[in-house]
Homo-oligomer: A and B are copies of this chain.
Amino acid sequence: MKLPLGAVRGAIRRGDYRSHTAGLGAGYLQTNIAILPQAFALDFMRYCQRNPKPCPLVGVSDTGNPMMTTLGRDIDIRTDVPAYNVYIDGKLDRSVTDITDLWTDDMVAFALGCSFTFERALAEAGVPVWHVEHDTTVPMFRSNIDTVPAGPFSGKMVVSMRAVDPAHADKAAEISRRFPLAHGAPVHRGDPAGLGIADATRPDWGDPAPIGPGQVPMFWACGVTPQVAIEAARAPICITHKPGHMLITDIPEDAEVPVLAPVS
């Protein structure tokens, strides 16, 4: 399905498009979303600042204001994500396609960069990635790396795995390092056991992807990490995007900073 960006956004807002956003809005930054009561917002923001590779913060709403003003001219976080997960007391309660009835005056919405950005750059550089070519979800694993805690937010870093040919490994690392707002350089390459991963064919999230003969598995910090930390924090309510169902912003992927130039 190849729709113009405006049409996709209208369909998402109306609730007519409820699927994942991979490959949509090409050239624009897509983001993970976490929405929390203000009482948790300062600690969550500290958690993101201290863990910038899994949690690259690219936008924060004013308290109670659902418009993500620095990320787009007209982005309403209550309607403009194709699907949301609602956590109650740290546990996944349900998935919905609109959170207008859940948004309250004390909520703060956070947008975090995601891996779609560097995956596009890898593809353009001729580094094939199996899960993209096979239209599956990247395999993700709970690693043995501790994140830096902040208040009630803590936990192990979740990593995503992409296996590449040895000739492509350095290039993949170098390209992704150029995107600090999209998880940056890999956190590990080679033996999955180095991250405490016993079986690389059985991911904790996403779909399995093969490590081809001679290929090097490479691991990047993953945007599921904050969801694990949010579960640990047991906020009375937290709303996230449904994995893969991202917010499409107005920020070009190659922007130096993820802030819309003000209208003059």
| Residues of chain A whose beta carbon lies under 8 Å from any beta carbon of chain B | 38, 41-42, 45-46, 49-53, 57, 59-60, 62-63, 70, 108, 146, 148, 150-151, 177, 180, 184-185, 256-259, 262
The answer to whether A177 and B256 touch across the interface, beta carbons within 8 angstroms, is: yes
The answer to whether B42 and A148 touch across the interface, beta carbons within 8 angstroms, is: no
Report copies per complex: 2
User: Within the assembled complex, what's the spacing in Å between the Cα atoms of A70 and B48?
Assistant: 12
User: Within the assembled complex, what's the spacing in Å between the Cα atoms of A59 and B48?
Assistant: 11
Closest B residue to A147 by beta carbon equals B262
The answer to whether B52 and A262 touch across the interface, beta carbons within 8 angstroms, is: no
What residues on B are CB-neighbors of A53 within 8 Å?
256-257
User: Within the assembled complex, what's the spacing in Å between the Cα atoms of A42 and B259?
Assistant: 18
The answer to whether A150 and B62 touch across the interface, beta carbons within 8 angstroms, is: yes
What residues on B are CB-neighbors of A52 within 8 Å?
257-259
The answer to whether A60 and B70 touch across the interface, beta carbons within 8 angstroms, is: no
Given contacts A42-B38, A60-B46, contact A51 B148 (CB under 8 A): no
What residues on B are CB-neighbors of A70 within 8 Å?
50, 148
Enumerate the 6 nearest inter-chain pairs by beta-carbon distance, A residue then B residue, closest first: A42-B42, A52-B257, A46-B60, A45-B45, A50-B70, A49-B60
What residues on B are CB-neighbors of A150 within 8 Å?
62
User: Within the assembled complex, what's the spacing in Å between the Cα atoms of A70 and B148?
Assistant: 8
The answer to whether A184 and B50 touch across the interface, beta carbons within 8 angstroms, is: no
What residues on B are CB-neighbors of A177 within 8 Å?
256
What residues on B are CB-neighbors of A258 within 8 Å?
52
A195 CB to closest chain B CB (Å) equals 13
What residues on B are CB-neighbors of A257 within 8 Å?
52-53, 180, 184
Q: Which of A59, A146, A148 has the most CB of B within 10 A?
A: A148
The answer to whether A180 and B256 touch across the interface, beta carbons within 8 angstroms, is: yes
A221 CB to closest chain B CB (Å) equals 10
What residues on B are CB-neighbors of A259 within 8 Å?
50-52, 148
Given contacts A148-B262, A184-B257, A259-B148, contact A49 B38 (CB under 8 A): no
